[in-house]
Chains A and B, each alone.
Chain A
């Protein structure tokens, strides 16, 4: 199960598992963003290509507006996936 919440600071917190069964729910939230945002992955344990696809689609929506998603607190095994897919060149990972 994936939970998505927004903190008072505006940071979007993702928790749990971002798998294919959660992609539609995430899409409805992340693709509706009108401006860039920071996504906090501290409590995100897992992501699959379905989750990566949602993040990529959201970044594509934001790019023409000069906006972007920025990722923080990414666990090392998820960082590896971003590296192997080249997503570390597409997303700022702090």
Chain B
């Protein structure tokens, strides 16, 4: 089962992104336990695209697929510089005390913990992130 949508590059579109995800969960009968990590990854990547590339052209494309017990999530920014979630995201030390904590990198850190596999591709100005979550 697949569902897709394209969204303008602003934070106001986040609710529409969640609406797409919730329709997908319902139509594909995605187990409840798997919905949180997928929604989390969706929000973090979408808001990063909005926040760090606000002047990019075109809408952000989101594709969701549930097959053989695995959710596949694709987010594509059609006008972006290259960005690798593994290599380029700020590293987070979860053992730091409160006073030494600084903003940045936490969302990607948590995506890596919550999702099973992440792939980053780049070509023709399009940056695509593909994430997988095994649910069965």
The answer to whether A53 touches B106 (Cβ under 8 A) is: yes
Q: Is the interface of B mostly helix, strand, loop or mixed?
A: helix
Q: Would A19 and B14 be within 8 Å (CB), given that A49-B106, A84-B110, A84-B113 are in contact?
A: yes
Question: Within residues 6 to 41 of chain B, which ones have a CB less than 8 A from any CB in chain A?
Answer: 11-12, 14-15, 18, 33, 36-37, 39-40
Q: Is the interface of A mostly helix, strand, loop or mixed?
A: helix
Q: Would A46 and B36 be within 8 Å (CB), given that A52-B106, A53-B103 are in contact?
A: yes
Minimal Cβ-Cβ distance residue in A for B42: A48
Q: How far is the CA of A12 from the CA of B121 in the complex (A)?
A: 43
Residue A63, interface by CB 8 Å: yes
The stretch from B57-65, B66-74, B79-87, B94-102 touching chain A is: B94-102
Write the nearest CB–CB distance from A34 to chain B, whole angstroms. 18
Annotate A62-94 by CB proximity to B: 1 below 8 A, 0 otherwise.
010000000000000100110011100110000
Q: Chain B, interface size: which category?
A: 20 to 34
The answer to whether B99 touches A48 (Cβ under 8 A) is: no
Q: Chain A, interface size: which category?
A: 20 to 34
The answer to whether B95 touches A89 (Cβ under 8 A) is: yes
Q: How far is the CA of A88 from the CA of B84 in the complex (A)?
A: 28
Residue A31, interface by CB 8 Å: no
Write the nearest CB–CB distance from A87 to chain B, whole angstroms. 8
Q: How far is the CA of A49 from the CA of B44 in the complex (A)?
A: 7
Q: How far is the CA of A35 from the CA of B39 in the complex (A)?
A: 33
Given contacts A21-B12, A59-B98, 19 further A-B contacts (CB under 8 A): A17-B18, A19-B14, A20-B11, A20-B14, A20-B43, A21-B14, A46-B36, A46-B40, A48-B43, A49-B106, A50-B43, A53-B106, A77-B33, A81-B110, A84-B94, A86-B94, A90-B97, A90-B98, A90-B101
Q: What are the 7 A-B residue pairs with the smallest beta carbon separation, nearest first?
A: A86-B94, A49-B107, A84-B113, A49-B106, A77-B36, A20-B47, A48-B43
